[in-house]
């Protein structure tokens, strides 16, 4: 990662593959963070948490900071707050949260990161028609559309025509008439996405 030259730290990076545009943007952001850090040869390293309780890391505070950043970026605090519903297994809520952030390893996301897939290509494994994106996989694929149609019929609600997973989640949860109903809709939505 680097070395000391004449008493100053010099960063030196080596990459295993060529940058795509997204990689380049991430590298520039990393460089701006690292540029402000000055390492000294005679001083030992230490990690210091600069949160509200300076020096003492708290998972709760980190979680709160992440959610504040997400709320600001997506202007949808309700979805990201409600996704952690009681009674839903943490692995299911974690998947749903990552899906809403478009952070699941779909073929589209792997392609953006420069990961080339073998014989399967980049098409959706359920319909083999279009590029597998989060929205396509969980909402727009003909397989997923059929699953959602059965869920709407089972719940006796009107079909939701959103093409965005975040909008779909918000509209689906709003089908609940009260707090308990919204919690039930939230749980069903997450479980359906998990199963798809």
Residue 52 lies in a domain: no
The verdict on 2 and 91 lying in the same domain is no
pTM for the model stands at 0.62
Range of 102's domain? 77-196
pLDDT at res. 78: 55
Q: How far apart are CA 68 and CA 151, in angstroms?
A: 32
The verdict on 82 and 14 lying in the same domain is no
Place of tokens 């943007």: 25
pLDDT tens profile 156-185:
998 988 888 988 998 998 888 898 888 899
Q: Tokens in use for 189?
A: 């939505």
Q: Are 146 and 135 in contact (CB under 8 A)?
A: no
The verdict on 119 and 180 lying in the same domain is yes
Residue 31 lies in a domain: yes
Q: Tokens in use for 92?
A: 């299911």
The verdict on 94 and 186 lying in the same domain is yes
Provide mean pLDDT across the span 71-77: 52
pLDDT at 186 over 60: yes
pLDDT at 8 over 70: yes
Residue 64 lies in a domain: no
pLDDT at 144 over 80: yes
Can you say whether the dihedral through the CA atoms of 159, 137, 186, 81 is positive or negative? negative
pLDDT at 123 over 90: no
Question: Count of domains in the chain?
Answer: 2
pLDDT at 193 over 90: yes
pLDDT at res. 119: 65
The verdict on 115 and 164 lying in the same domain is yes
């Amino acid at each position: 990662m680097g070395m000391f030259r004449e008493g100053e730290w010099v960063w030196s990076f080596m990459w295993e593959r060529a940058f795509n545009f997204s990689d380049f943007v991430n590298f520039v952001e990393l460089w701006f963070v690292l540029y402000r850090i000055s390492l000294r040869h005679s001083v030992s390293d230490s990690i210091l948490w600069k949160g509200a309780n300076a020096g003492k890391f708290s998972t709760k505070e980190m979680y709160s900071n992440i959610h504040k950043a997400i709320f600001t970026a997506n202007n949808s605090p309700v979805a990201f707050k409600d996704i952690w519903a009681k009674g839903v297994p943490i692995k299911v809520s974690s998947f749903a949260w990552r899906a809403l952030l478009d952070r699941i390893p779909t073929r589209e996301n792997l392609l953006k990161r420069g990961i080339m897939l073998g014989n399967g290509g980049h098409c959706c494994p359920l319909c083999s028609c279009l590029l597998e994106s989060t929205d396509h996989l969980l909402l727009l694929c003909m397989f997923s559309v059929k699953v959602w149609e059965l869920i709407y019929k089972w719940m006796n609600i009107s079909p939701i025509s959103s093409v965005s997973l975040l909008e779909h989640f918000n509209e689906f949860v709003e089908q609940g008439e009260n707090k308990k109903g919204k919690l039930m809709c939230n749980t069903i939505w997450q479980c359906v996405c998990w199963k798809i």
